[in-house]
Amino acid sequence: MSNSVHILRVIVLLHFAPHTQSTEPFYDITDPAFIKECIEEHNRHRANVKPSASNMRYMTWDEGLAISARAWARKCVFKHNPNLQQPGKMHPIFTPVGENIWAGTPYTKFKVQSAIQLWVDEDKYYNYDSNNCSYVCGHYTQVVWADTYKVGCAAQACQNGVAETKFSTVPGIIFVCNYATAGNYAGVSPYKRGKSCSSCSTEMCENNLCRNSTRDILKKNSTQDILRSNLDPKLSCGSFCTSLLVIRPVSIVFIFISVFCLQQYYPNLFIYE
C-alpha cells in the first residue's frame, strides 16, 4: 500500500473517530425518577420550614433550567454560572436565575436527597427574625425562597475532577440546580411567616404549599426549540458549525476519490512527507 493511501486512511479514521469526553452524565435530566426526586426533596423542605410560611409556592420542574444546569455542570468547575443575571443566557423567559451547587467524589455515593439536605442544613446559620446569616446560608434560603416555583437540576460525573475543589485531581461529581424566579434578594426574607397557605389567596393548598395549575404549567410558546438551540451546546449549531458539518465529510470523500484516481493513472506515484 502506498504512503498516500495510508495517510488518507489515517485522516479518515481520525476525522470520524468519536471525540473523547471528560464527563458523562451521572443522571439524565429527562429521567423521570431523577426529576421526581429533585422536585419532591425541594418541596418537602419548603413545606416544613420553621417558622411556617404563609406564601410558600409549590415547585415544579422546568426543562430549560435543567438544560442550563447541565450545560454548566459539564464544565466541572465549582463556581456559579456567570450568566445568571444575563437576559436570555440562562432561560428565554426567566431572568435572573438562581443557582445552587454541590460537588464531591464518586466515593461519597452521591444522592440527590443528601446534596439538597446539605444545602438545607445551612438553616442553622440563618436567623429568620433578623434575616441574617452567621455563616453561609444562601443555599438554604434559595431552596426555601417562597416566590421560586421552578427548578431544573443536573448531576455530572467529572473524570478529570471538579475544578476549584480540594479533590480537583481525582474523579468527582457536580450537582447543579437552577431556580426561577430567582431568590436571595438583599434585605428580603425568603418567605412570609404565618399559617401555612394563609396567603395563598384562591390557590390550592397542597401539603402546606400554594399550588396554582396555571403557574405550574409554563406556557411554552415554542420555547422548546429556543431552549435547545440557545442553551444546549450539544444541540446547537451556528452557520459556521453547519458549514463545517457539510464541508468536512464532502472534502474527505473528494480527497479519497482524487487519491484513488491518481493511483489508477499513476501507479508508481510516490509522495514524500
| SS3 per-residue string spanning 253-273 | HHHHHHHHHHHHHCCCCCCCC
User: Residue 223: pLDDT above 70?
Assistant: no
User: Residue 248: pLDDT above 90?
Assistant: no
| Average pLDDT of the chain, as a whole number | 82
Percentage of the chain beyond pLDDT 70 is 71
Rounded CA gap, 111 and 113, in Å? 5
User: Residue 236: pLDDT above 50?
Assistant: no
Q: pLDDT value at position 2? A: 46
Is 161 strand, coil or helix? Answer: coil
Rounded CA gap, 149 and 134, in Å? 27
**Between 273 and 189, where is the model more confident?**
189
User: Taking residues 164-183, what's their average pLDDT?
Assistant: 94
User: Residue 85: pLDDT above 90?
Assistant: yes
| Cα dihedral sign, 71-76-77-80 | positive
Dihedral angle over CA of 73, 79, 82, 84, nearest 10:
70
Instruction: For residue 154, list its beta bridge partners.
Output: 176
User: Residue 161: pLDDT above 50?
Assistant: yes
